Amino acid sequence: MLDFISYPIGTFLRILYNTFAFKNYGLSIILLTVIIKTLVLPLTIKQYRSTARMSEVQPQLQELQKKYKNDPKKLNEETMKLYQKYKINPASGCLPLLIQMPILFSLYYVISQPLKYMFKIPVDAIQQVFNMIPAGAASSANLRDLSIISYFSQNTDKLGDINGVITQSHLLNMSFFGINLGAIPSLDIDKLFGSSLDMQAWYLLIVPVLAIVTTFISTKFSMNQTPQQGANASQAAMTNSMIIISPIMTGFISFTVPAGLGIYWIISNIFQMAQQLFMNKYIIKKASSKENKPLSELSS
């Protein structure tokens, strides 16, 4: 469904992998993350300004809610007038999220199916090669591309058996500081504490742990820095809930997707914190500029 986004991202990721990332999959994901976040930065700044404006009119909104609490239609009309008066678009704050969500889902497909999206190998050919892999070396069908890369990276002498469908150039270097980014982190007790200790399982745990920690820090930092003028008790409760729920959701998802996507999440969180510092210094402190005049001036 998102192939129209996944294929261009896959092509761009392959270019990064072969050039600037020195053929390291982890580094190529980091570069891709920074580039994507930089491209949507103008929209994020716009979102922040919209949030700031919404916070400034909160007292007036609360007055309208009290005044027309028994007349929803009138309340809606007066609210829209207030937004128009101060040139506020309540939907503009959602735009960066709406743009980034398809990219996030597309990245899942690209990272879990690199043979399809990065190298454009037909799905039927991938399936035939996957069927040739010994059962013990094959993961689930959802990760067949990664199973193929993992198997033939360890058994390059078998490449001659598949008629050139998969070549040495398709075998991505997925090791990033000893972590296999094509594998899915797990809390499997046998792997973590069994008689034959699986160190790769422990290495993989680093990804979701860092994803959870950075999500918590970036969410808390962002919420603390966002203007909250006139915020009521329910908004404060919602903010506190987000600080807790976001890391929990991140942790849950990190244990269901390849570690490469977790790397994307970690770098995104770090970038978001740096972005917030940038906005604090260059956006908030310019509140006296023409774009940030007091609401009374904007409405005149």
H or E segment and range at residue 91: none
Among the listed residues 94, 108, 98, the one whose alpha carbon sits nearest the alpha carbon of residue 9: 108
Rounded CA-CA distance 157/181 in Å is 23
**Span 24-75, pLDDT tens digits:** 999 999 999 999 888 888 877 777 777 777 777 888 888 998 988 888 898 9
Structural domain includes residue 216: yes
9 burial (CB, 10 Å; 0-12 / 13-18 / 19+) is buried
Structural domain includes residue 15: yes
User: Which DSSP category does 152 fall into?
Assistant: H
204 burial (CB, 10 Å; 0-12 / 13-18 / 19+) is buried
Q: What are the structure tokens assigned to 290, written together? A: 């023409």
What pLDDT is stored for residue 42 in this prediction? 83
Hey, which residues does 180 pair with through a beta bridge?
175
Q: Which domain holds residue 250?
A: 3-118+172-298
pTM of the predicted structure, to 2 decimals: 0.82
Comparison of pLDDT for 297 and 49, the residue scoring more = 49
Rounded CA-CA distance 88/203 in Å is 47
| 145 within 8 A of 128, measured Cβ to Cβ | no
Structural domain includes residue 113: yes
Percent of the chain with pLDDT over 70: 85
Structural domain includes residue 292: yes
Structural domain includes residue 243: yes
| 58 within 8 A of 230, measured Cβ to Cβ | yes
Rounded CA-CA distance 268/255 in Å is 18
**Span 175-223, pLDDT tens digits:** 999 999 988 999 988 888 888 788 999 999 999 999 999 999 998 887 7
CB atoms within 10 A of CB 216: 18
Structural domain includes residue 127: no
In degrees rounded to 5, what are phi and psi of residue 174? -95, 5
Rounded CA-CA distance 41/268 in Å is 12
Residue 262 has pLDDT above 90, yes or no: yes
Confidence at 288, pLDDT banded by 50, 70, 90: very low
**Span 102-128, pLDDT tens digits:** 888 898 899 889 999 999 999 999 999
Contact residues for 210 (Cβ-Cβ < 8 A; gap 6+): 262, 266
Structural domain includes residue 183: yes
Rounded CA-CA distance 250/214 in Å is 10
Structural domain includes residue 155: no
Q: How many helices (H) does the chain have, and how many strands (E)?
A: 14, 2
The tally of domains found in the chain comes to: 1
What pLDDT is stored for residue 292 in this prediction? 45
Among the listed residues 43, 12, 41, the one whose alpha carbon sits nearest the alpha carbon of residue 29: 12
